[in-house]
Structure 1
Amino acid sequence: MDELKDKVAVIYGAGGAIGGAVARAFAREGATLFLTGHRLAPVEAVARDVVSAGGVAEAAEVDALDEQAIDKHLQSVVAKAGRIDISFNAMGIPPTPDLEASLVDMDLKQFSVPITSYTTSYFLTARLAARRMLKNKSGVIMTVTAPPARLGTPNGGYGPSQAAKEALTRYLSKELAPQGIRVVGLQPHGMPETETIREIFESRAKATGVTWEQFSGYLAGMNHPTRFMTVTELANVAAFVASDKASVMMGTTVNLTMGALDD
């Protein structure tokens, strides 16, 4: 416990399943949280959970694709807490329609929306956090990707968007590590608790008629224990990676696919 005591963490997408779980894990380890999301209500719900459990959390409505909104929020965080130690980007977007469509038949917008959205958000939140962290030569920047970054699965621009985020993690780390800032990604396997997996299933069900049991069985069968990872398991790893005990972890995306992908 208290691995993140006195740490100041900003979480984007805190109202989602992953962001909310990471927020609760960070709070259990003693971090002071500034939670954000595109919609305020779910973020406030997570903040209430954290506070009721004895933690410290503040909620704000911040569009993680809006540079000015991100910058303004970080200014307020520094004004209140004095610094930023951890930036965690768990921002997600709904899959584009007809996710199973052929790349050959797909139009440019359908392909490019996830690539533009995910990379823009990660770049903006990381860059703006880094500018504050550089003053103290200390900090951790984190995000979450997914196996389609390395698997040839039919999902339009989603896989390329995740691969781009992993490349950006390496680029940012090369630049920032000498200044005391670690940049690390986490790559979990599909988790039914997340909206993204449900939305991907709905898209595939519409296109192929696959049932939830068939879809979930296929996903679970890809990893070694043939079960799903939970968002709590992911969040526990995130708390460790964000802590000083993981000081040598940087410039990489941690494989949490439970054997579905080999390194």
Structure 2
Amino acid sequence: MLLVGKNAVVYGAGGTVGSAVARAFARNGARVFLTARNPETIEALAREIVEAGGSAETAQVDALDEVAVEGHLDAARTAAGSVDVSFNAIGIAQQGIQGIPLTELSVEAFVRPIVTYTKAHFVTARAAGRLMTGQRSGVIMMHTPEAARLGVPLVGGMGPAWAALEGLNRSLSAEFGRHGIRAVCIRTTAMVETFTVDVVYGLHAEAIGITRDQFSNLMTRLSHRRRPTTLHELADVAAFLASDNASAMTGMVANLTAGLIVD
């Protein structure tokens, strides 16, 4: 129980990554505040957590909306006494973004993920930083796939967007560290349990003229373990990094790429 007494806000909690992290936080004793643009996507998750003995509350929050994000954080702090962890797991549809050569990609499609991801993470991180500075403690967290570091073809603006998040993570640590706030990022391979990767693998497979399964096998063979990161592995590491056991870790990217990237 690494997070007993901690209060964690998860943005994009209705997605596969966000929900897995929220479950891990709750399983480790945290009170979780689940947010999504569509509250119906997180109601079942909240019930599941509560039925398992955890504590979960839901709210409709668009991570791109500064007023909504700050208002929700203030409400969470009022209800719980503090906000100790902020985890941003938002995502966007990948159709029309990946699987297209840069020479054929529109400017709008290239820029869309860069603007959306960087704005959403800045909005949530800035709000968390303002609140946590007063507390003199807190952890701001994010997740990026391997394309943030590797040169990968046909990912459009996603690679630059994820790389920008890792850069933002370092900046957050540099500015907020002296106030007792840590900033950490988790980098994984694509995870086959997610709906998004099924779509993305299909887009890439079609673009290079192979089947989705062939593309999946190709990606799997690139890692040292010959298998991708699992959601369970990501969620368990997220819970550890959010805990006081990881108090010396900030401004860093946890490498969960199974050897696909060797630091």
TM range (shorter): over 0.9
Match of 2:65 in 1: 66
| 1:30 match | 29
Q: Which residue of 2 aligns with 1:231?
A: 231
The structural deviation recorded for 1:96 is 4.3
Contact 2:97-2:110 within 8 A present in 1 as well: no
Matches of 1:204 and 1:134, distance apart in 2:
43
Q: How does 1:86-165 map to 2 (within 5 A)?
A: 86-97=85-96, 99-153=98-152, 154-165=154-165
Question: Structure 1 residue 248 and structure 2 residue 232: aligned?
Answer: no
Give per-residue Cα distances to partners, 1:156-178, cap 9 Å, x unaligned. 00000000000000011000011
Instruction: Give, in whole Å, the separation in 2 of the partners of 1:138 and 1:216.
Output: 41
CA contact (8 A) 1:98 1:203 kept: no
Contact 2:29 2:54 in 1 (8 A): yes
Cα distance, 1:228 vs structure 2? 2.2
Q: Partners of 2:8 and 2:88 in 1: how far apart?
A: 11
- What is the deviation of 1:232? 1.0
CA deviation map 1:69-107 (0-9, x unaligned) = 111211211121111100000111111415222213322
d(CA) in 1 for partners of 2:68, 2:219: 37
Question: Alpha-carbon deviations, 1:116-140, whole Å to 9, x = none?
Answer: 0111111010100111111110000
Percent of aligned pairs sharing the same letter: 47
Q: In structure 2, how many angstroms separate the alpha carbons of the residues matched to 1:100 and 1:26?
A: 34
How far apart, in 1, do the equivalents of 2:256 and 2:233 lie? Answer: 10
Question: Which ranges in structure 1 are unaligned for 5 or more consecutive residues?
Answer: none
Structure 1 partner of 2:44: 45
Whether 1:171 and 2:175 are equivalent positions in the alignment is: no
Q: Could you list the per-position Cα deviations for residues 158-213 of structure 1 after superposition, in whole angstroms to 9, with x for gaps in the alignment?
A: 00000000000001100001110000000011101112212212322443343221
Which residue in 2 is equivalent to 1:212? 212
User: What CA deviation, in whole Å up to 9, does each residue of 1:43-63 have, x standing for no partner?
Assistant: 111111110100000011111
Structure 2: unaligned runs, 5 residues or longer: none
**156-165 or 94-103, larger mean C-alpha shift:** 94-103
TM-score by length of 1: 0.96
- State the superposition RMSD in angstroms: 1.2
Worse-matched range after superposition: 108-117 or 215-224: 215-224
SS of residue matched to 1:224: coil
Aligned length: 262
**Quick one: structure 1 residues 98 and 186, their matched pair in 2 at CA, closer, same or farther if it must change by over 3 Å?**
closer
Aligned: 1:57 with 2:53: no
Q: Secondary structure at the match of 2:90?
A: coil
Q: Secondary structure at the match of 1:116?
A: helix
AA partner of residue 15 (structure 2): G
SS in 2 for 1:201: helix
Q: How far apart are 1:37 and its partner, in Å? A: 1.1
CA contact (8 A) 1:97 1:203 kept: no
